[in-house]
Homo-oligomer: A and B are copies of this chain.
Amino acid sequence: MSTREEILGAAQRRLNLDPTSSMADIAAAAGIGRATLHRHFSGREDLLTEIGARSLDRWEERLDAARVGDVCSSDDADRLRATLVTLLGQYLEDSDDFGFALTDQFVLAEPTLTARGEALAEREIELFAAAQAAGVLRDDVSPRWISQACYGLLVAARDALRAGDVPRRDLDTVVASFFLHGAAAPGKPL
């Protein structure tokens, strides 16, 4: 007897391994019949939309827990810097759990998810802008670009983890250090 939560968890793990998984693959991975899966979700798009919504729930929880609004108005460089690094570590954890939703074309184009994702992105962009104003982040690029670059590095981190290019224990340090300082050798600016 699988609950809806258990089915969603199994679907998510299966889709992370193979984003092209069919409803039959997902039912098999959840250990249920296709009829049972279809009682819970009318189709693959319905299931993907719910997983996409859960990934946005997680993002929202992270921003809420970090008290992003307070941190932005604090204008406190140390607090801004610490919040950025903490959030980045949490995003890395989440991009492992919700890896497929990061780049799934259906999830990224679904209108209700897109609208909600844009509103969350605005909160994050506000944090990057505050970090720029406090001298933590460079201010010669737009905070929107910093947000896009952060997303791109999460995609890279998810892929690197799966390919075994970076051990899990080093991932937070490697990604935070790359996000802040890039790939150039220290003291050798281009």
Contact = CB atoms under 8 A, between A and B. Distances in A.
A105 B105 CA distance: 8
A185 B142 contact: no
Contact of A153 (B100, B152, B185): B152
Interface string A122-156: 00000000001001111101101110110111111
A109 B159 CA distance: 13
A163 interface: yes
Interface residues of A, number: 51
A24 interface: no
Contacts of A148: 156-157, 159-160, 163, 165-166
Interface in A69-127: 81, 85, 100, 103-106, 109
Interface of A: 18-20, 81, 85, 100, 103-106, 109, 132, 135-139, 141-142, 144-146, 148-149, 151-157, 159-160, 163, 165-166, 174, 176-186, 188-190
27 contacts: A20-B106, A81-B190, A103-B155, A104-B105, A132-B185, A135-B188, A136-B184, A136-B188, A137-B185, A138-B184, A141-B166, A141-B174, A144-B163, A145-B160, A146-B183, A148-B166, A149-B178, A151-B155, A152-B154, A176-B190, A177-B190, A178-B182, A180-B182, A180-B183, A180-B189, A180-B190, A181-B182
